[in-house]
Amino acid sequence: MNYGIDFKGGTIIEIKTDGPADIGAIRSELSALNLGDVQVQEFGASDDILIRVEEQPGGELAQQSVVQRVRTIFADDNVDFRRVEVVGPRVSGELAQAGAIAVGAALFAILIYIWFRFEWQFAVGAILTTANDVVITVGLFVLLQLDFSLSSIAAVLTIIGYSLNDTVVVYDRIRENLRKYKKRPLADILDQSINETLSRTTMTSVTTLLALIALYVFGGEVIQSFTLAMIFGIVIGTYSSIFLAAPLLILLNLRPDALSRNDGDDEKEAKANATV
């Protein structure tokens, strides 16, 4: 995995310039210093800049040297160095652990929600489908050696929610059709349900992809990690909700009569709500 500065550690420098800063020019000058991975972004205002430089070999003296070399770029400018921080490997490890816990907690919450909302087969199917999306998205980052940062973690969590939404739409239609066509084979009902939700799933994904592609092309380097992960995730999530979510119910031996047993409870609840 090609971890970004958030996970590898490095030096964070916040500066305030005399007027709007030229991000592109600053990035080019820093690249010429051969400091490795360098990130430059606006930090709240156009004259407030945040610079992140990956950890240099050589210990504390090497990190201090980074700050001095960065200062040389702004020697002729009226620049205020507001903050200089060094993020060590321990802090980076804690961030990676927190990111993994966040993803795991999201998947567990999904399992509980779907279990109560549908049957246990739907819950397991949703978890396997969502986990598939996450693993493939992270795998693409590993395969292509793309920079994986905290923005990528945020994208993965967003993908979990987006993929779950698509899967729930398909599962909800399957549940409706199982109650409507109780004597039809399960495979036929799944096929019909997928066809009925196919246009909705496809159009929603295409619309989202158009916005993400525009963000990737015109949004700049700062959000490229986030948008690229989202593009991967949306494509994979669309595939899995169409081709993976429903067939898993057959493998998990879903039985239509399990839903039929709950119909009486649903009708009682509906009558009670109507009375209120």
pLDDT band with cut points at 50, 70 and 90 for residue 238: very high
DSSP helix, strand, coil percent of the chain (3-state; round to 5): 70, 10, 20
Was domain 94-275 assigned CATH 1.20.59.10? no
Can you give the pLDDT at residue 266? 46
**Residue 152 pLDDT more than 80?**
yes
- The band of 170, judged by pLDDT with boundaries at 50, 70 and 90, is very high
Helix or strand run (H / E) with residue 134? helix 120-144
Which CATH code fits 5-87?
A: 3.30.70.3400
**Residue ranges per domain, the chain?**
5-87, 94-275
Tokens representing residue 65 in the block? 């040297």
Query: Is pTM beyond 0.85 here?
Result: no
| Sequence-distant (≥ 6) Cβ neighbours of residue 28 within 8 angstroms | none
Mean pLDDT of all residues in 186-201: 91
DSSP secondary structure, 153-174, as one string: HHHHHHHHHHHHHHHHHHHHHH
Domain 5-87 and domain 94-275, same fold? Reply is no
- Look up residue 147 and give its two tokens: 């920079």
Angle at 197 between CA 126 and CA 264, to 5 degrees: 65
Mean pLDDT (the chain, rounded): 81
